[in-house]
């Protein structure tokens, strides 16, 4: 049996057009949810290690960012893909990596 998706409230996460282009961030900061996800999922950091890297954040804020991600994985994964694509394009444009199509 498939579980119905229930829209969860995430009071520690905000989306404001004037902060990080409307991307989800931890309230009162400019730390994007996607940054926390990258540190947790891709770097393998624990929530405690993330707090040590960002001492202005609390453990509850880190867990709130991860909870938001688990409720909105498509949104955050798309943001990460877009950022990676931007970096690749900039590196290709400025000669840091070869343009595969030109080789």
Q: Please tell me the distance from the alpha carbon of residue 26 to that of residue 41, in angstroms, as a whole number.
A: 17
Domain 13-97 fold: Arc Repressor Mutant, subunit A (1.10.10)
- pLDDT digit of tens for each residue in the chain (103 aa)? 555 566 688 999 999 999 999 999 999 999 999 999 999 999 999 999 999 999 999 999 999 999 999 999 999 999 999 999 988 888 888 876 655 565 4
pLDDT of residue 98: 58
Q: Bridge partners of 25?
A: 14, 32
pLDDT at site 90: 84
Q: How far is CA 89 from CA 5, 34, 70, 75, 80, in A?
A: 36, 20, 28, 21, 14
Angle at 38 between CA 33 and CA 44, to 5 degrees: 130
Would you kindly state where each structural domain of the chain is located, as residue ranges? Answer: 13-97
């Amino acid at each position: 049996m498939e579980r119905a998706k229930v829209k969860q409230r995430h009071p520690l996460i905000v989306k404001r057009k004037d902060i990080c282009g409307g991307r989800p961030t931890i309230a009162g900061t400019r730390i994007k949810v996607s940054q926390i996800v990258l540190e947790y999922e891709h770097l393998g950091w624990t929530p405690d290690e993330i707090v040590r890297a960002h001492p202005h954040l609390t453990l509850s804020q880190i867990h709130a960012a991860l909870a938001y991600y688990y409720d909105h994985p498509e949104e955050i994964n798309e943001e990460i893909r877009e950022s990676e694509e931007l970096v690749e394009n900039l590196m290709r444009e400025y000669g840091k990596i070869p343009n595969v199509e030109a080789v």
